[in-house]
Structure 1
């Protein structure tokens, strides 16, 4: 039995399904095909699965379905086109796995700016798990820190024009067949993910050649052999100012007491006056 016949028989059996989670038997079917003959039928089955639930809202951010979409995309010559298409249908908008795979595909293609834009969209949409997005984004930035200045060379006008661009591109059906022979689906909507207007720009101090000086010295950040965070250093400096102010106020209060005033009057008498009194008594 060929692949299409396998899928057709399975879909006919699904017409009798009465459960509330049709994705589950589809998943079992995919696992079965994967175990048969090295999984050569898998690409077609995944493509049918993705199409079957593409417009089912309850599966849009179901991690199982999102992972099936990612696996399906891996069999296409242009996986990014698949990510664009399913994302435009609302799939994976709050799921970290889709953004991470999408960004990595851009990165593999050398499109670092687009990959960064995908990570920014993931952060904006609060994709979950959040830790996954943050960790993957951090690793991405570390891997590509040498390439970061490329994006910094753009002008502000170019930056502002890179937000919310949508385009439709017609792909020939044969382009997406490859060895998997997955159908192309006709017109694929390509989405350029919106990005921050200031993404990749250098601070003004670096552009002008002015050296940036840290507010705190290394000595400020060391206390009794342990390192302090900047918040702790700020707190220490704040309380030092408070204590100095209190000490100054106490000195002023002590100076203004009656006893202090009398003492000050005694010492404030002029030398000439004191000398004149002495001469009068002698006479």
Structure 2
């Protein structure tokens, strides 16, 4: 560790005399060197990422740079409260144009059972025209399908939410492109979905867009387990009959559905504006 601290002090001295126009590139090279030579020293990597976050926090020209987004997502892995961290990034204007931030944020909320909040995060990203657009819209439709039980046509993609490692991999693919220093992906490349099949994006008009906003009182999901697709089709959703530690009847469920149906048209109308 002492050796690493000495190396970091040398790097700091280098950055103080650096006169180039891309300081993040210097940080990127140094962090790659650390990852390659000290792959098991996660604590030191977290410290480096923390230094990097503080260094570029107020440099707005890097707030949507795909390299900086990559390090933000890596640093999020070390945070005990990821929702608070993503909220902090958003309030600072960091990643507001990056689909990867919204997908990771919404995925975390979905895993915590915050389904309505996760839906709002997806909608915010689409409203902000985050790039790649097609990828974010695709993941939102898959999220909707998981809530409503709709099985989308097979397009070579999974209905499960993307995990952090998968999102990081796609960000790294973006970093390796010639436009790596630009803010995310150019609009002309948004439909490519960074290697994810984009044909799903083109078939939106052929699919029935069903959105059901599920409140906590209607569907309670364990905070430690992400919602999973049912292995087989059943006639009712058992989870919707559970509220806290007690159960309630089908009559109560139907009453809630009746009230929910009145609001359904409004939700669908609002959602179509985003899509």
Closer, same or farther in 2 for the Cα pair 1:19/1:206, shift >3 Å? closer
C-alpha separation in 2, matches of 1:206 and 1:49:
45
Find out whether 1:98 has 2:98 as its counterpart.
Answer: no
Closer, same or farther in 2 for the Cα pair 1:111/1:5, shift >3 Å? farther
> Any idea what SS the aligned residue of 2:39 has?
helix
CA RMSD of aligned residues (A): 2.6
Partner of 1:139: 142
TM-score by length of 2: 0.53
User: Which structure 1 residue ranges, 4+ long, deviate > 4 Å from structure 2?
Assistant: 146-149
Closer, same or farther in 2 for the Cα pair 1:206/1:86, shift >3 Å? closer
Flag the structure with higher strand content.
1
Partner of 2:214: 150
Structure 1 position 32, deviation (Å): 1.0
Bigger relative contact order (CA 8 A; separation at least 6):
2
Closer, same or farther in 2 for the Cα pair 1:204/1:25, shift >3 Å? same
Contact persistence 1:80–1:102 (CA under 8 A): yes
TM-score by length of 1: 0.52
- Structure 2 spans left out of the alignment, 5+ residues: 150-210, 219-258, 266-275
> Any idea what SS the aligned residue of 1:151 has?
coil
Q: How many residues align?
A: 161
Closer, same or farther in 2 for the Cα pair 1:5/1:139, shift >3 Å? farther
- Structure exhibiting the larger radius of gyration computed from Cα positions: 1
Write the mapping of 1:220-239 to structure 2, written as runs, cut at 5 A.
none
C-alpha separation in 1, matches of 2:87 and 2:80:
14
C-alpha separation in 2, matches of 1:90 and 1:34:
28
Partner of 2:16: 15
Contact persistence 1:33–1:39 (CA under 8 A): no
Write the mapping of 1:56-67 to structure 2, written as runs, cut at 5 A.
56-67=59-70
Find out whether 1:118 has 2:121 as its counterpart.
Answer: yes
C-alpha separation in 2, matches of 1:119 and 1:73:
18
Closer, same or farther in 2 for the Cα pair 1:60/1:149, shift >3 Å? closer
1:15-62 residue CA offsets vs partner (Å, 9 max, x unmatched): 121110100010111111111232412111111111110110100111
Q: 1:87 aligns with which of 85, 90, 93?
A: 90
1:185-229 residue CA offsets vs partner (Å, 9 max, x unmatched): xxxxxxxxxxxxxxxx8443989xxxxxxxxxxxxxxxxxxxxxx
- Structure 1 spans left out of the alignment, 5+ residues: 155-200, 208-283
Partner of 1:42: 45
